[in-house]
Structure 1
Amino acid sequence: MHFISGLPRSGSTLLAGILRQNPRYHAGMTSPVGSIYTAMESAMSRRNETAVFITEEQRRAVLRGLFSNFYGDLHQTKLIFDTNRLWCTKLPALVQLFPEARFICCVRDIAWIMDSVERLIRRNAFELSGMFGFEAVGTVYTRVNRLAASDGLVGFALDALREAYYSEQASRLILVEYSALTQAPADTMRLLYEMLGEAPFEHDFETVEYDAEDFDTALGTRGLHTVRRRVEWVDRETVLPPGLFARFENDAFWRLPDANSRGVSIIRLAG
């Protein structure tokens, strides 16, 4: 069992699309397991008056059993990569439930994450997005502020990544920069396989396939989980106003020279 987490719009769906080419692996977009996991934690907490009868061993067994029961036979025959940005907040428990697990965290410049979300909103100009509660009013500034809030799509994920990055379990992390995955996919995957202790596999970066059209349409954000068949880097101008784009230019904390005190593995472009 391994986990994919990190920041939104940073390549996690693309990475899953690449990994699933390997017949030994199962990977996909954000799964329901994270929300079920937190619901079970709540049900076994002290807010439930009968929780006094639940031992720590039983809590561990119930939570671990969630994964094996959810994935069923796949859990017996394939290496599972479960995706959820929530996992960065659950390292103390997950490393006990799965002692061999690694946490692959996809990362990207925050300003370009905001740009990517805004592009999706504008591309779906006749739809209201569930990412913003299907609200019909707002500006690019209110949308970005909502995303950046501590409980927002980006703000929560960024705080969760920081928590994991500076935690006692940080050595379990593998950060994969979006620029490395899209500009040097073969080298990135080779390094990732080495870090996971897995046998090499020849991926086809010209025909990567993954989409979740029904999910994205229901969210009012078509294209949210669609990846290009060819893995490539696309240069472009930002759609954000200059001041708004510049607001996030120093938020890539993992690039700070003295930040990596826990020895986190980071896959980035050379140079």
Structure 2
Amino acid sequence: MKTIYFVAGLPRSGSTLLMNILGQNPDFYVTPTSGILDMLGQVKNNWDKNEANRARERNENELIKKNVLTGMLQGYFSHIEQNICIDKNRYWLESAEMAAAILGGKEKVKILVTVRDLRDVLASFEHLYRKTSALSQVPLDANNPIKCKTALGRFEMFIDDAQPVGRAFNAIRDAITRGWGPNMHIVDFDKLTTNPKATMQSIYQFLQQDNFQHDFNHVEQITWEDDTAYGFKDLHVIRNQVEPQNPRWPSTFDVTVTESSAWKNIERFARFWER
């Protein structure tokens, strides 16, 4: 049986960088954005829609369902040599209860949660939009052509509950409400980039794994994704050197955005994990 940990959190908050740093450890196998969570969810949500499954004795049906889900997750990593696998999907926090059932108990669920000042998360998305829209159409633009014409409109869409930033933000806060705080380890983007050694040491302590000496000056990208699938160019491309990043939002947005009511609300929660 593989030991499986999870990485979730906000988009544009360093999860790809974190995975590639962790991937320097030969004992770890790390994923790009993983689809196994969605597959597990589809099986879980459709299992009892099957007439034959519903007709089984209830306890037996639940046991078989759990065994199938466990087999799926373990099977996803069965071709991997390493015994420690780290799966990245920002929505694992929404499914922490399922993860506990699959892994055999709440105490076995460990989730690294990457976070970043929400204003910089949104500035990063805005830069990706501008870069991609130069020669391509962003799906957000195709689905909302009028609202997407302005930076304020795009900002308001990015924070919508149905969009990645809003949904991930809600997932983190709700997981804490549901009592998963002790199973979560917050990885602050600013701390990761300014003091990576201490940040990684705290991660190893949380995972209860032996510390590893990482090379923060030469981080080879070993997780690759075709970002055209997500509609943005270079969504998961990292810098090879871990170094501090200046805030981007002051040079990205002008008063049209920063004096809006939506922005004022975001400012209240910009670094919500510190509250």
TM-score by length of 1: 0.86
Q: Is residue 145 from structure 1 mapped to residue 156 from structure 2 by the alignment?
A: yes
The match for 1:253 is: 272
**Number of residue pairs matched by the alignment:** 254
Residue 238 (structure 1) shift: 3.4
Which entry has the higher C-alpha Rg, 1 or 2?
A: 2
Question: One-letter code of the match for 2:91?
Answer: L
Q: Identify which range, 82-91 or 54-63, moves more after superposition.
A: 54-63
Cα offset for 1:140? Answer: 1.7
- After TM superposition, list the pairs within 5 Å mapping 1:188-207 onto structure 2: 188-207=199-218
- Structure 1 segment 64-213 matched on structure 2, within 5 A: 64-74=70-80, 77-98=82-103, 99=105, 100-124=108-132, 125-130=134-139, 133=142, 137=146, 138=148, 139-210=150-221
The secondary structure found in structure 1 opposite 2:156 is helix
Q: CA deviation at 1:187?
A: 0.7
| TM-score normalised over the length of structure 2 | 0.85
Change (3 A) 1:219 1:135: farther
Structure 1 residues 199 and 118: alpha-carbon distance in aligned structure 2, compared to 1, 3 A threshold: same
Gaps of 5+ in 2: none
How does 1:27-38 map onto structure 2 within 5 Å? 27-38=30-41
Q: Percent identity?
A: 28
Check conservation: 1:12, 1:29, Cα contact below 8 A. Answer: no
1:181–1:188: 8 Å Cα contact kept in structure 2?
yes
Contact 1:88 1:164 in 2 (8 A): yes
Cα offset, 1:42, TM superposition: 2.0
1:49 pairs with one of 48, 51, 55: 51
Counterpart among 240, 244, 251 of residue 253 in structure 2 = 240
Cα distance in structure 1, aligned partners of 2:198 and 2:164: 30
Summarize the Cα distance change of 1:170–1:250 in structure 2 as closer, same or farther, 3 Å threshold: same
- SS of 2:198 mapped into structure 1: helix
Give, in whole Å, the separation in 2 of the partners of 1:105 and 1:192. Answer: 10
Match for 2:123: what amino acid?
Answer: D
CA 1:220/1:211 → structure 2, altered by over 3 Å: closer, same or farther?
farther
Q: Choose from 13, 18, 28 the match for 1:10.
A: 13
SS, match of residue 99 in structure 2: helix
Letter in 1 for 2:53: A
What does the per-residue CA deviation read over 1:17-63, in whole Å, with 9 as the maximum and x for residues that have no partner?
10001111111321111211111112213x33333137111111111
Aligned Cα RMSD in Å? 2.0
AA aligned to 2:136 is: E
Q: Is the 8 A contact 2:96 2:109 kept in 1?
A: no
